[in-house]
């Protein structure tokens, strides 16, 4: 592990407390070691899960809906394609924040739905409200709850649902810092395991490569990202394709959260940047490129990076990849987790690895700005668990014009 992260972990407890570093750095550093525990919990969960999935899959018309709020939603984008390919059914992502406002625009009438609720705390009103709205639908809903908090409200709700399964991860994944880091990557690993519910031996072979990639990232990336965090930039654009679209969205949120909004961030796919969003890049903008491990997708990504270099726009380009290769000449900073190519990790399994770079960038930029990473929102604008939200029952409103509260206060 590079010195920049080790030096934070080695601080005396009183100094960690003073600098607001009681949790964040340690949670980032420990997450890859928790991925095997998530795998083991899922393996123990399989005997209960498989007949549940088989019953759902037996419906002639069916779909999978991945839902969560904020970071939990972005877990869905990291595993959406893998689940679609492995389960062979339509899979989509919808935030709980969108679902509770417009459920009729999310659920497909006449279809059985596997609602995969993803949550760190499981105590946000939208998470609970989404489940209760779904449970009242006329079509069958199968609830699969993936949470880092066995004591959360969402975990308790599983006991009263008609068709539900609950997987609670190791309590150490339930981050205590404001920004969600270990919970995110472990929930992604759980989503990858779900895709392999019918082929678990394949995932068993892949997991050690995912873990090694994460450890490599933690060992190789911190010093370069700490130096980059000290550079002057107040905007950042995060780019990713396929499963790394989720990596990009989540990393965008990490930098924006951990800097208390001092760095404003955007995200897009590599080709999508050309269609308007490129206008946001000015002389104080960092471009973060999460390169795909798939050579076909990477061709598009290299074309875009070449265009940025030719236009000479942006403060700097950070490339995050298994191996940078040709991209090394198109970036000011490169972070690689598999430079000799021994892991050969497929792109769909790399988000837990690559997102560590986004987390570390947020951590070091927060410190460079003099903020406290555990709670960077000095004015208390954002909180670890969202407060003050009420979720209303759409059925009672449409039937009676009455606002009945389903969740929250």
Torsion angle defined by CA atoms of residues 130, 135, 140 and 143, in that order, rounded to the nearest 10 degrees: 60
Half-sphere exposure (Cβ direction) of 110: Cα atoms closer than 13 Å: 2
264 pLDDT tier (thresholds 50, 70, 90) = very high
- Amino acid 177: pLDDT: 94
DSSP string, 75-99: HHHHHHHHHHHHH-S-EEE--HHHH
Whether residue 3 is predicted with pLDDT greater than 80 in this model: the reply is yes
Q: Which strand (E) or helix (H) includes residue 282?
A: none
Mean pLDDT of 363-377: 95
Whether residue 147 is predicted with pLDDT greater than 70 in this model: the reply is yes
The tens digit of pLDDT for each residue in 189-204 reads: 999 999 999 999 999 9
Mean confidence (pLDDT) of the chain: 94
R_g (Cα) of the chain, nearest Å: 21
Model pTM score: 0.94
CA distance to 73, 74, 159, 329, 397, per residue, from 391 (Å): 18, 21, 21, 50, 12
390 pLDDT tier (thresholds 50, 70, 90) = confident
- Amino acid 122: pLDDT: 83
385 pLDDT tier (thresholds 50, 70, 90) = low
Which sign does the torsion angle of CA 124, 129, 135, 140 carry? negative
- Amino acid 404: pLDDT: 72
- Amino acid 396: pLDDT: 73
Whether residue 384 is predicted with pLDDT greater than 60 in this model: the reply is no
- Amino acid 401: pLDDT: 72
- Amino acid 407: pLDDT: 80
Quote the DSSP letter at residue 336: E
Go through the domains of the chain in sequence order and give each one's CATH number: 1-198+379-409 (3.40.50.10490), 222-373 (3.40.50.10490)
- 8 A C-beta contact, residue 277 and residue 287: no
Helices (H) and strands (E) in the chain, counts: 15, 12
Rounded distance between C-alpha atoms, residue 62 and residue 353, angstroms: 32
């Amino acid at each position: 592990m590079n010195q920049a992260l080790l030096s934070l972990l080695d601080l005396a407890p009183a100094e960690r407390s003073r600098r607001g570093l009681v949790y964040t750095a340690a949670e980032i550093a420990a997450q890859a070691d928790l991925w095997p525990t998530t795998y083991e919990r899922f393996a123990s969960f399989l005997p209960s899960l498989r007949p549940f999935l088989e019953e759902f899959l037996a419906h002639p018309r069916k779909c999978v809906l991945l839902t969560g709020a904020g970071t939990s939603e972005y877990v869905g984008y990291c595993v959406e394609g893998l689940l679609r390919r492995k389960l062979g059914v339509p899979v989509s992502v919808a935030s709980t924040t969108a679902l509770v406002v417009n459920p009729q625009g999310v659920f497909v009438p006449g279809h059985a739905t596997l609602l995969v609720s993803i949550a760190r705390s499981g105590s946000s009103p939208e998470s609970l409200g989404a489940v209760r709205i779904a449970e009242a639908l006329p079509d069958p809903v199968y609830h699969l709850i993936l949470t880092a908090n066995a004591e959360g409200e969402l975990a308790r709700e599983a006991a009263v649902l008609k068709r539900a399964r609950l997987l609670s991860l190791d309590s150490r994944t339930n981050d205590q810092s404001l920004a969600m880091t270990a919970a995110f990557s472990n929930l992604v690993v759980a989503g990858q395991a779900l895709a392999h519910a019918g082929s678990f031996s394949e995932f068993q072979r892949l997991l050690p490569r995912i873990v090694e990639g994460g450890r490599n990232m933690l060992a190789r990336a911190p010093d370069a990202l700490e130096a980059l965090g000290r550079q002057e930039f107040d905007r950042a654009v995060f780019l990713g394709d396929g499963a790394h679209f989720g990596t990009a969205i989540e990393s965008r949120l990490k930098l924006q959260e951990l800097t208390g909004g001092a760095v404003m961030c955007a995200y897009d796919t590599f080709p999508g940047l050309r269609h308007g969003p490129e206008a946001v890049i000015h002389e104080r903008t960092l471009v973060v490129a999460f390169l795909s491990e798939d050579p076909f997708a990477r061709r598009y990504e290299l074309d875009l990076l070449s265009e940025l270099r030719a236009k000479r726009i942006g403060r700097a380009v950070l490339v995050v990849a298994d191996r940078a290769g040709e991209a090394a000449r198109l970036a000011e900073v490169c972070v690689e987790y598999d430079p000799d190519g021994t892991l050969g990790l497929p792109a769909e399994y790399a988000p837990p690895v690559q997102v560590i770079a986004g987390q570390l960038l947020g951590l070091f930029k927060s410190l460079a700005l003099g903020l406290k990473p555990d709670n960077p929102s000095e004015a208390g604008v954002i909180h670890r668990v969202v407060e003050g939200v009420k979720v209303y029952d759409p059925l009672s409103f449409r039937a009676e014009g009455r606002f009945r509260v389903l969740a929250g206060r």
